[in-house]
């Protein structure tokens, strides 16, 4: 059975602004129908510009956008099969919840007799049933965001675009709304495209994530693949926490890459493909162990001294340095009250399995 065509195709899209600002540089990607897709990157990387191009609020300097098989080159925003939820909610304060949700239907000329049922369905989707008569100033921040979602969904777009929709919420409410967004997308089954600079948010809600930096698309992958197999130093460092080491390639034979790392000496790492260039090595803090003695040849291990502890509740971040001033960060899970209360101090062995070493070639 052939795979269904993508609902969104971005083909070598670039966008330049006056003053020589290159917001996007030949970005190409495809988004599947029914997918929850995230555009992730630091502030100013170009992700919001790409979302606005999809919505029709910006015109690409080069390249093409196709949505649902149609070229969007000359299609104005109000004629595109998309709707957008903004960071600021844009809920009308002088209208009730129901009137806010009905506004989009009124603009598009939906028959008046159909409107109440459609509004009720949309409010039920976002778990605001029974609140249609309430004014926005009597709602919490999370409820106002749900009103904005209902107003966008009531028109049943093929694609819902979300521009940092949770950034104005406090941390706990933001986490709850992330789960709500994922539930909602799964319920309605339409394509969601979310812009965020929050790595945890993207990892929590998205089926796939596109990482963008300085207008360039660096990697598109599932959350697990992006986290465990980043393809560049930027992605490795941007997604989660990472220990990064620069290495000099001293040989690659019989599936073993030998790397000379300043302060760590020669490391022999299993590889699946030969490389002749210098590389970076990376290890996630949670993949590292802290031990009282050397664990044996199955691990790479180095003695180090605990410099600082940072208690984070579910984990403790342990910062160490070895005698060559190489720094390590190790994440220790606080699995019990006893382990959380046990202070780590002095000299210990930092160890990790060979297979948990990431090799970064760019």
Least Cα distance to 257 among 241, 272, 243, 237 occurs for 272
**57, 55, 53: which is closest to 27 by C-alpha?**
53
Average pLDDT, the chain: 89
Please, what's the b/e burial string for 239-257 (b: 16 or more CB within 10 A of its CB; e: otherwise)? bbebbebebebeebeeeeb
Per the model's pLDDT, the better-predicted residue between 277 and 76 turns out to be 76
Half-sphere exposure of 35 (CA within 13 A, CB side): 19
Region class of 39: left (phi > 0), else alpha (psi between -120 and 50), else beta: beta
Residue 5 pLDDT > 90: no
146: enclosing H helix or E strand: helix 141-153
8-237 and 241-360 have identical folds = no
Alpha-carbon distance of 11 to 62, in angstroms, equals 9
Confidence check: pLDDT of 67 > 80: yes
**What distance in Å separates the CA atoms of residue 39 and residue 58, rounded to the nearest whole number?**
17
What DSSP state is assigned to residue 227?
H
pLDDT at residue 1 greater than cutoff 60: no
Tokens 């994440």 belong to: 331
Taking residues 121-148, what's their average pLDDT?
88
pLDDT value at residue 2: 46
pLDDT of residue 343: 67
Residue 239 has phi, psi (to 5 degrees) of -90, 105
* Paired sense of beta strands 347-353 and 358-360, if any: unpaired
User: Which pTM value belongs to this model?
Assistant: 0.89
> According to DSSP H, which parts of 229-303 are helical?
233-238
Judged against a pLDDT cut of 90, whether residue 89 lies above it is answered with: no
pLDDT score recorded for residue 127: 87
pLDDT for position 340: 61
Coil vs helix vs strand at 47: helix
pLDDT band at 92 (very low <50, low <70, confident <90, very high): confident
The more confident residue out of 9 and 115 is 9
List % helix, strand, coil for the chain (3-state, nearest 5): 30, 35, 35
User: In the prediction, which pLDDT does 16 show?
Assistant: 95
For residue 69, count other CB atoms closer than 10 A to its CB. 9
CA dihedral 228, 286, 202, 34 (to 10 degrees): 50
Give the integer Cα–Cα distance in Å for 341 and 319: 17
Q: Indicate whether 342 pLDDT > 70.
A: no
The pLDDT of residue 257 is: 87
Q: What is the CATH number of domain 241-360?
A: 2.40.50.140
Helix (H, G, I), strand (E, B) or coil at 259: strand
CB neighbour list of residue 143: distance below 8 Å, 6 or more residues apart: 128, 131
Question: In 10 A of CB 261, how many CB atoms?
Answer: 17
What mean pLDDT is predicted for residues 149-170?
87
CATH number of the structural domain 8-237? 3.40.50.300
| Strand 36-40 with 82-85, pairing | unpaired
Write the DSSP assignment of 159-221 as a string of letters: EEEEESTTTTS-HHHHHHHHHHHHHHHHHH--EEEEEES-HHHHHHH-SEEEEEETTEEEEEE
Q: Which residue has the higher pLDDT, 169 or 39?
A: 39
d(CA 292, CA 232): 33
Residue range 201-210: mean pLDDT, rounded: 95
Tokens (6 digits) for 90: 């844009």
**pLDDT tens by residue, 286-311:** 999 999 899 998 899 999 999 999 98
Instruction: Give residue limits of the domains in the chain.
Output: 8-237, 241-360
């Amino acid at each position: 059975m052939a795979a269904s065509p993508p609902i969104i195709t971005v083909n070598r899209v670039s966008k330049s602004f006056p003053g020589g600002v290159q917001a996007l540089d030949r970005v190409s990607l495809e988004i599947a129908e029914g997918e929850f897709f995230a555009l992730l990157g630091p502030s100013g990387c170009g992700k919001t510009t790409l979302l606005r191009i999809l919505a029709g609020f910006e015109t690409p300097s080069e390249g093409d956008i196709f949505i649902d098989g149609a070229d969007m080159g000359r299609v104005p925003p109000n004629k595109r099969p998309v709707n957008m939820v903004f960071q600021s909610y844009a809920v009308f304060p002088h209208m009730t919840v129901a009137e806010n949700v009905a506004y989009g239907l009124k603009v598009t000329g939906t028959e008046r007799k159909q409107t109440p049922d459609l509004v009720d369905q949309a409010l039920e989707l976002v778990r605001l049933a029974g609140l249609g008569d309430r004014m926005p100033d009597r709602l919490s921040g999370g409820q106002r965001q749900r009103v904005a979602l209902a107003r966008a969904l009531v028109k049943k777009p093929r694609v819902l675009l979300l521009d940092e929709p949770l950034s104005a919420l406090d941390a706990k409410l933001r986490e709850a709304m992330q789960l709500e967004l994922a539930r909602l997308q799964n319920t309605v089954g339409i394509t969601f495209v979310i812009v965020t600079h929050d790595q945890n948010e993207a990892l929590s809600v998205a089926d796939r994530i596109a990482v963008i930096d300085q207008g360039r698309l660096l990697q598109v992958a599932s959350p697990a693949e992006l986290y465990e197999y980043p393809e560049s130093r930027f992605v490795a460092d941007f997604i989660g926490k990472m220990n990064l080491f620069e290495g000099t390639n001293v040989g690659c034979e019989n599936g073993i890459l030998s790397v000379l790392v300043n302060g760590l000496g020669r490391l022999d790492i299993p590889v699946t493909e030969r490389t002749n260039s210098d590389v970076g090595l990376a290890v996630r803090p949670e993949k590292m162990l802290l031990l009282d003695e050397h664990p044996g040849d199955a691990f790479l291990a180095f003695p180090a001294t605990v410099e600082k502890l940072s208690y984070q509740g579910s984990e403790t971040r342990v910062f160490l340095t070895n005698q060559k001033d190489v720094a390590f960060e190790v994440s220790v899970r606080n699995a019990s009250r006893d382990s959380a209360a046990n202070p780590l101090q002095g000299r210990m062995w930092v160890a990790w399995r060979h297979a948990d070493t990431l090799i970064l070639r760019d």
